[in-house]
């Protein structure tokens, strides 16, 4: 088990990296959340943010794959619609 504040720490890092336009590091932080919480709302929201960061990087193909995976697997219709 991880520390209870680990998810919040990853989110904070992701926001800081995005502000500095270090999208690859932001993606890594969001993917870490998704991998830790793959079936929970927080995990899918993090995966969606990773897709958006790929878009900001100009990586259209990877963002499209992430968005499609969210649509196919998400248990949360509002997140799937956002993708």
Question: Looking at residues 68-81, what average pLDDT do you find?
Answer: 86
pLDDT in tens, 12-24: 999 999 999 999 9
* Whether the model pTM is above 0.75: yes
Question: Looking at residues 26-37, what average pLDDT do you find?
Answer: 94
Question: Three-class SS string for 4-59?
Answer: CCHHHHHHHHHHHHHHCCCHHHHHHHHHHHHHHCCCCHHHHHHHHHHHHHHHHHCC
pLDDT in tens, 32-61: 999 998 888 999 999 999 999 999 999 999
């Amino acid at each position: 088990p991880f520390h209870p504040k680990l998810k919040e720490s990853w989110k904070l890092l992701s926001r800081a990296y995005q502000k500095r336009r270090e999208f690859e590091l932001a993606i890594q932080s969001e993917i870490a959340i998704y991998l830790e919480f793959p079936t929970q709302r927080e995990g899918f929201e993090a995966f969606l943010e990773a897709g958006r960061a790929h878009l900001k990087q100009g990586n259209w193909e990877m963002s499209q794959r992430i968005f499609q995976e969210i649509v196919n697997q998400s248990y949360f219709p509002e997140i799937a619609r956002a993708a």
